[in-house]
């Protein structure tokens, strides 16, 4: 019996210690307890792209050799399947070039909607990228017979990461452009194609992340051209050898290249270091995904939300992830600052010489047009030469708050989407949905008063695997996908909050307590007269009083014999024990664990034991009793030696765990 008690004790301590170092979600909801819809076909794999079409109510899913459509309302309903496979001859030729049979299939890696409703769709097609169009008419999806080369639009290799964006039928891509995947290019396709200069100072072994458009022209007082932003990781030419950093690149939408210098090359290409300070000092924070939340009232107040990782190895158990946010106006300000230049000693220093006019990298505006610079073809050679040799800005782009909104250990953040939610009082709150590499989704908010907090984490996929895509619809549905499955989740589902207190204390902007129906429900479209919500401090004074009493379990223990009293909280909140109304402190006879209490009683330990969760919001303490035990103690054959042995072994387990964690994180 003693061995089994010690083994149980060690497991509990490990579970308790192992979860203590990361920012915890308030509640963890496992796959079996989530109300979601899942699509996973028997021959469905290699999922490579996702496209939400709210105008026709369909979710387009690009996979290996096919494009399928699912109903946006219920993704378990497949509405069509369009096959696009590779001929045996093309596949054989691909394999003769050293690629595997699996690699030589056709992976649909890009889909974008055009203004006429068609969808530009591109597939790797046995390492010969090819594009065509999908059409939706009369409820039927068909594929055009004609094709065009996709080289430069998507990578040859289906495993290569790339970024793309469609704006007004103009395609922007940042991808590898050759068979071996070594040449990476940021370009605009179409009637006036344009790309980056092939210099290491422009792009140095980049990993492309995402591309976003900021329609500056709509709000600019001087007619400034729209801005296009590319986020990436690359080798830092200005730092010590081998260091990789995050970057944001800005170019201008109407850039046509230079007339003599930088012909068909970006004349507006500028880049800056994107910083998200967390982890060990001196370690790189590498951007993983970026979401632009546009501010419709003031575009310059729009915010880029980005996920970062502190470790290059995705499998590292000791890496950290973070979310940082950046205001568009702050990024704009960095690109108006000083430039770095390469000195004769080989070091990058602040450029102190003359900066030509127009200011290098500037987007065309009314002042430039008045001086005769109507397009980039009119830029003087001095400005173009300066841009060619000075693409890097001195100032670093720093987060709005000066630090991350969230930091989490172990499972790495991958994708992020952000929803703007209006609460009952009319205030707007930004809710972040952040996926990780283990099939889980974090639902989080940030406020200046109490920082970042994870409201809940949801296990969307039963098997641990990276979530590769996140798409949020205006209907309040979140679509996520791995390589083998698609999940649909309502972001307005409040059913997991089972009481008024739980509903209000969670401070979920989507949810409020409907006192007429007696349940937690979505506030969107609800009447203010029937709904209560408290996002300021989670106060429950508005909740109706509850007369439900907790059941007390009678426990008969033997003196000096250790016994485990379990506690099963429904949240991840801190837990404490009370003995006869007073807070129980740890001691030789009371070992407090996150899953319960190890009690080695004497006769003075008889009484009522209560396990309760504790949540502090704005200085207000909220308690919730989870388990209650009425303990009676009788004579037995145990001894004080028994207690000492268990305590010593418990300490030994803790030391072993600390050693294991130390060696894993070295």
pLDDT tens-digit series, residues 175-186: 999 999 999 999
Q: 282 pLDDT band (50/70/90 cuts)?
A: low
Tokens 């004349």 — which residue?
267
pLDDT of residue 14: 35
Q: 525 pLDDT band (50/70/90 cuts)?
A: confident
- Nearest C-alpha neighbor of 593 from the set 657, 502, 661, 499: 657
pLDDT for 543-594, tens place per residue?
Answer: 887 655 678 889 999 999 999 999 988 888 888 999 988 999 998 899 988 7
pLDDT for 88-135, tens place per residue?
Answer: 999 999 999 999 999 999 999 999 999 999 999 999 999 999 999 999
pLDDT of residue 471: 96
pLDDT of residue 313: 56
What is the secondary structure of 108-165 as a DSSP string?
EEEEEE-TTS-EEEEE-TTTS-EEEEEEEETTEEEE-S--EE-BTTB-SSTT---EEE
pTM above 0.85, yes or no: yes
Q: Please tell me the chain's helix, strand, coil percentages from 3-state DSSP, rounded to the nearest 5.
A: 15, 40, 45
Letter string b/e over residues 156-191, b meaning 16 or more CB atoms within 10 A of that residue's CB: bbbebebbbbbbeeebbbbbbbeeebeebbbbbbee
Q: 660 pLDDT band (50/70/90 cuts)?
A: very low
3 state DSSP class of 75: coil
Report residue 496 as tokens: 């997991």
Whether 651 has a pLDDT exceeding 90, the answer reads no
Least confident span in 504-518, 539-553, 594-608: 539-553
Q: How far apart are the first and last CA of the chain?
A: 37
- Nearest C-alpha neighbor of 234 from the set 247, 225, 224: 247
The answer as to CATH 2.60.40.10 being correct for domain 551-664 is: yes
Least confident span in 379-388, 392-401, 457-466, 528-537: 528-537
Q: How far apart are CA 166 and CA 169, in angstroms?
A: 6
- Run of H or E residues at 645: helix 640-664
- Tally Cβ neighbours within 10 Å of residue 350: 11
Q: Cα angle vertex 186, ends 183, 192, to 5°?
A: 120
pLDDT of residue 572: 86
pLDDT of residue 347: 87
Q: How far apart are CA 585 and CA 603, in angstroms?
A: 17
CATH assignment, 492-548: 3.30.1680.10
pLDDT of residue 43: 78
Of 97 and 661, the one with more pLDDT = 97
């Amino acid at each position: 019996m003693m061995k089994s008690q010690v083994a149980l004790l060690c497991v509990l301590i490990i579970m308790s210690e192992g979860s203590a170092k990361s920012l915890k979600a308030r509640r963890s909801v496992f796959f079996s307890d989530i109300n979601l819809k899942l699509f996973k076909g028997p021959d469905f794999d290699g999922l490579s792209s996702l496209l939400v079409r709210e105008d026709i109510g369909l979710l387009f899913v690009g996979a290996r050799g096919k494009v399928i459509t699912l109903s946006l309302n219920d993704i378990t309903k497949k509405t069509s399947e369009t096959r696009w496979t590779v001929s045996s001859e093309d596949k054989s030729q691909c394999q003769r070039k050293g690629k595997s049979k699996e690699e030589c299939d056709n992976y649909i890696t890009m889909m974008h909607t055009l203004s006429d409703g068609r969808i530009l769709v591109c597939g790797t097609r046995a390492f010969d990228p090819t594009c065509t169009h999908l059409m939706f008419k009369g409820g039927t999806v068909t594929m055009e017979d004609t094709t065009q080369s996709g080289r430069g639009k998507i990578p040859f290799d289906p495993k290569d990461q790339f970024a793309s964006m469609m704006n007004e039928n103009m395609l922007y891509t940042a991808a590898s452009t050759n068979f071996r995947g070594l040449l990476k290019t940021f370009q605009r396709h179409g009637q006036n194609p344009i790309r980056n200069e092939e210099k290491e100072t422009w792009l140095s072994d980049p990993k492309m992340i995402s591309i976003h458009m900021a329609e500056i022209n709509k709000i600019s007082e001087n007619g400034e051209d729209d801005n296009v932003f590319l986020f990436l990781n690359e080798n830092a030419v200005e730092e010590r050898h081998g260091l990789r950093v995050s970057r944001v690149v800005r170019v201008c939408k109407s850039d046509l290249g230079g007339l003599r210098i930088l012909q068909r090359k970006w004349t507006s290409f500028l880049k800056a270091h994107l910083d998200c300070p967390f982890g060990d000092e001196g370690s790189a924070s590498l951007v993983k995904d970026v979401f632009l939340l546009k501010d419709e009232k003031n575009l310059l107040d729009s915010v880029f939300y980005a996920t970062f990782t502190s470790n290059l190895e995705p499998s590292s158990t000791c890496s950290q992830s973070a979310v940082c946010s950046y205001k568009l106006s702050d990024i704009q300000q960095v690109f108006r600052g000083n430039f770095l230049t390469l000195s004769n000693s080989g070091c990058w220093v602040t450029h102190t010489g003359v900066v030509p006019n127009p200011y290098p990298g500037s987007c065309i505006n009314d002042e430039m047009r008045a001086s005769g610079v109507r397009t980039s073809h009119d830029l003087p050679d001095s400005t173009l030469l300066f841009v060619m040799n000075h693409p890097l800005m001195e100032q670093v782009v720093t987060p709005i708050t000066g630090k991350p909104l969230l930091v989490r250990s172990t499972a790495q953040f991958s994708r992020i989407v952000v929803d703007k939610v209006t609460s009952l009082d009319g205030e707007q709150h930004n809710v972040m949905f952040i996926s990780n590499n283990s099939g889980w989704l974090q639902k989080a908010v940030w406020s200046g008063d109490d920082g970042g907090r994870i409201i809940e984490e949801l296990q969307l996929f039963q098997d641990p695997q990276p979530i590769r895509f996140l798409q949020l619809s205006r209907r309040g549905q979140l679509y996520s996908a791995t390589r083998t499955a698609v999940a649909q989740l309502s972001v307005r589902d409040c059913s997991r909050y089972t009481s008024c207190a739980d509903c209000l204390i969670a401070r979920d902007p989507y949810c409020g307590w409907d006192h007429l129906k007696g349940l937690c429900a979505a506030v969107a479209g609800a009447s203010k007269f029937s709904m209560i919500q408290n996002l300021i401090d989670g106060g429950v004074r508005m909740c109706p009083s509850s007369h439900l009493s907790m059941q007390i379990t009678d426990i008969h223990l033997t003196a000096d014999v250790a016994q485990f009293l379990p506690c099963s909280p429904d949240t991840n909140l801190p837990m404490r024990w009370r003995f006869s109304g007073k807070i129980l402190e740890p001691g030789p006879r009371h070992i407090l664990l996150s899953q319960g209490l190890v009690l080695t009683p004497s006769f003075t330990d008889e009484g009522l034991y209560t396990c309760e969760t504790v949540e502090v919001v704005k200085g207000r303490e909220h308690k919730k009793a989870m388990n209650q035990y009425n303990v009676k103690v009788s004579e037995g054959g145990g001894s004080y030696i028994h207690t000492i042995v268990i305590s010593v072994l418990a300490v030994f387990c803790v030391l072993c765990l600390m050693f294991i964690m130390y060696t894993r994180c070295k």
